[in-house]
Structure 1
Amino acid sequence: MDYLAQTILDDQQKETLKNLKEVDAGYGVSGLGRFRVSLFYQRGTLRIVIRAIPHVVPTIESLNLPAVLNQIAQVERGLILVTGVTGSGKSSTLAAIVDDINKRTHKHILTLEDPIEY
């Protein structure tokens, strides 16, 4: 696991893992795809969770999200917060909302995410 962590993480991420005992990162493998990687210590042992990031941005419908999100995505101004526990679909939900807005309008959209997935 240590070798994998050394391969995946840049110097700043290694320092974060050392100091905070956890770090999230994006990692790409040429010809294979992109991955979200979470590294953390549990009971003194390094653990790694790797999730594949789909090549295609999901839609609100394909994620079976409430239809009200389509209405929220059409609001002219405001702030949308997408929150939840690890693995609950926050990044996919946010990507679907942003993609919906981008397909209909020409707006400036800011997202704060770490790591960036889509």
Structure 2
Amino acid sequence: MESNTVVKALSALAQASRLEIFRALVVAGEAGLTPGILADALKVAPNTLSFHLKELMHADLVSQKRDGRNLIYRAQFDRMSDLLTYLTQNCCQGEPCLTGVVASLGVCVP
């Protein structure tokens, strides 16, 4: 994953509403959600939601597919995985991370 792609994805997620929308789509899984369901669940105005979904799509974190009369938005799990891999690629200076409580806190001890 290239640095500019990572910056674009992180920039898209660095806004509270977009992060909340993305997390809702991750929870929804492959089934995805319609804009109406998202707007109701997150209490976001439809035009505001549309703007944020466009930003997430531009960052390639969310996909859109038409299903009859509905648009279905889904998290791009492969892109999310690539981003997480990029961010943790050099964790613990190349040494295996400890498991258990220390690892669950996100602390790496070589």
Q: Could you say which structure has the higher strand fraction?
A: 1
Q: Could you say which structure has the higher helix fraction?
A: 2
Q: TM-score, normalised by structure 1?
A: 0.27
Q: TM-score, normalised by structure 2?
A: 0.29
Return the structure number with greater relative CO, CA threshold 8 A, min gap 6.
Answer: 2
